[in-house]
Amino acid sequence: MENMKKTALLNERVYFYISILIIGLWVAPYFILGDQAHMRIHDNLDSNIAWYKVLNESGQLFGSVQANIPQIINGHLSRNAYYSEWYGIVELFRFFPPVIAYGLNQLISRFFAFLGMYLLLKKYVIKQESDGFIRIVAALTFALTPFWPNGMLSTLGMPLALWAFLNIRNRQQTFVSIVTITLLPFYSTFMLGFFFFLSAMGVFWLVDVIRVKKPQWRMFIATAYMTVIYLAIEYRDLAALVFSHEQTNRSEFFGSNNSFFRTIRLIFKNYIIGHNQDQTVFEFIILPVSLLALVIVILQKSFRQEKLFIGLHITNFLLSVWYAFWWYEGWAPLKQSIGILNTFNFSRYHYLRPMIIYILFAVSLQILWRYQKKWRIAAVVFAVLQIGVLIPSNEQIWYRHSPSFGEFYAVQEFTEIKKFIGRPVQDYRVASIGLHPAIAQYNGFYTLDTYNNFYPLSYKHQFRKIIAPELAKNKTLAKYFDQWGGRSYIFVDELGKHYMFSKDSTKVIQNLNLDMEAFKQMGGEYILSAVPIENAQENQLDLQRIFQTNDAYWKIYLYKVI
């Protein structure tokens, strides 16, 4: 028996180090390929990556809560619209080249995702020494999920936080647990992750108090302590929400317009496929395995012994129900009467799902493992298959047909454009058509257009005048801009919601109709277009030159307002 324990521990240690090696190989391309590395575009290259560079070059990294960013939307963008200077990812992009910083963020996030899930499973879920393989593989697959990179440990750090909270509750490993919940806020976000975790911990504490009839002060104080740290780090968001009286584009957010039928459909879409910011690759292996384990539990009538398993199933589904019904049209009157329900996205409790799903995966594998000896082989096969279905989600594979980092930002091409214009970039304003304004921003241009979820409502209305004739042609674009407005872009009816026209594109805008007087009044002088504009002269635009380089994804048509 003693030899079996030693063998199990040795095997688990080997699996652990193999997993670390796999994580290292997973992120290695960023460091090897550099600017030729591929990465997510949506909510990443089209926004956050450029934001870090703009912030670092603005001189306002440590600016006051009243400071603005001069380069964006005529200086109307508040410093508070960008991440706090206390975020770890901001510091990475401050001290390292962008792709290296991005790779380090991937490495840090995935390592602590693996470690946190492993510690949680080992101590509180899959406790048997012989089940080391299940613990390791569940933790590894969790760490390889295609998470939203700019969230850092916002979702991937939840197992580590839960491990720490349970330790504190049980008076075990208290010091290291307090250190954990102290440091985690510096590498995760409150609004985009841990608000939902900590409020869930509040519910857990309340239920625990009622169940054991004791105050459980350690748990309460730990939850409050971590919340206070987050509020201190994200003081900019707090100042903007509480002390600013200026209306922002969030005031016109209107998301509750789904019919009852669409809401029911969204429940199952979110349950099976998930959300783009917390993808789990749940549908191919984990879902059928968890349902198979549920059949075994039903056949064995072991509901009482598998309370955690049943609870995970129910919670996973209910989170999708909550997410879908948040966008149900029946909410609209209440959201319109209570401002915080409109400006803050309470649907994001689905950020808890990655942690829940991979704990469910581990427990499901354990049920199969224990059921019959022949099912142990099936459990191993399912575990390996989950790693297999995650491999295509690696950014170098998934985005291989998209532009690389260097092709996307096209630094040489935009340097040539700046040289051609021949004036200090702060002396004129540009806007983009057919490509994301983040590209011009990354290259130092001062832009009238932007992608931000927090800017003055007055600027949104002012910018709308430029694109009003195009929005009048396209109800979908008008609704997209008017009821959200996070993308304050030069929308064109003929292009729709597409901003990725490569240099090989044959698309031509035939009938552009912009209010160029409004554009000029805002300081606009140049249009950077990824496609030619047939009726440029009718829009007071003169084609200056066409720019194209081998290492850029774009062909840029530079138009000047005349």
**Are residues 527 and 504 in contact, defined by beta-carbon separation less than 8 angstroms?**
no
Query: For position 9, what pLDDT does the model report?
Result: 77
Place of tokens 């200026």: 246
Query: For position 258, what pLDDT does the model report?
Result: 85
Number of helices and strands in the chain (H, E): 24, 8
**Are residues 457 and 248 in contact, defined by beta-carbon separation less than 8 angstroms?**
yes
CB within 8 Å of 342: residues ≥ 6 apart: 250, 251, 253, 254, 335, 336
pLDDT one digit per residue (tens) for the chain, 562 residues = 566 677 777 889 999 999 999 999 999 999 999 999 999 999 999 999 999 999 999 999 999 999 999 999 999 999 999 999 999 999 999 999 999 999 999 999 999 999 999 999 999 999 998 899 999 999 999 999 999 999 999 999 999 999 999 999 999 999 999 999 999 999 999 988 999 999 999 999 999 999 988 889 999 999 999 999 999 999 998 887 777 678 888 888 877 788 999 999 999 999 999 988 889 999 999 999 999 999 999 999 999 999 999 999 999 999 999 999 999 988 878 877 776 777 678 889 999 999 999 999 999 999 999 998 889 999 999 999 999 999 999 999 999 999 999 999 999 999 999 999 999 999 999 999 999 999 999 999 999 999 998 899 999 999 999 999 999 999 999 999 999 999 999 999 999 999 999 999 999 999 999 999 999 999 999 999 999 999 999 999 999 999 999 999 999 999 999 9
Query: For position 3, what pLDDT does the model report?
Result: 66
Place of tokens 């340097």: 415
Axis-axis angle for helices 158-169, 195-212 (nearest 10): 30
Query: Is 275 in a helix, a strand, or coil?
Result: coil
Ramachandran category for residue 301: left, alpha or beta (phi over 0 → left; psi -120 to 50 → alpha): left
Token representation of residue 16: 């652990």
Ramachandran category for residue 485: left, alpha or beta (phi over 0 → left; psi -120 to 50 → alpha): left
Rounded distance between C-alpha atoms, residue 225 and residue 230, angstroms: 9
Phi and psi dihedrals of 356, rounded to 5?
-65, -45
Query: For position 490, what pLDDT does the model report?
Result: 98
Query: For position 434, what pLDDT does the model report?
Result: 98
Q: Is 514 exposed, middle or buried (0-12, 13-18, 19+ CB in 10 A)?
A: buried
> Rounded to 5 degrees, what angle do the CA atoms 301, 307, 308 make?
135
**Strand 541-548 relative to strand 555-561, pairing:** antiparallel
Query: For position 405, what pLDDT does the model report?
Result: 98
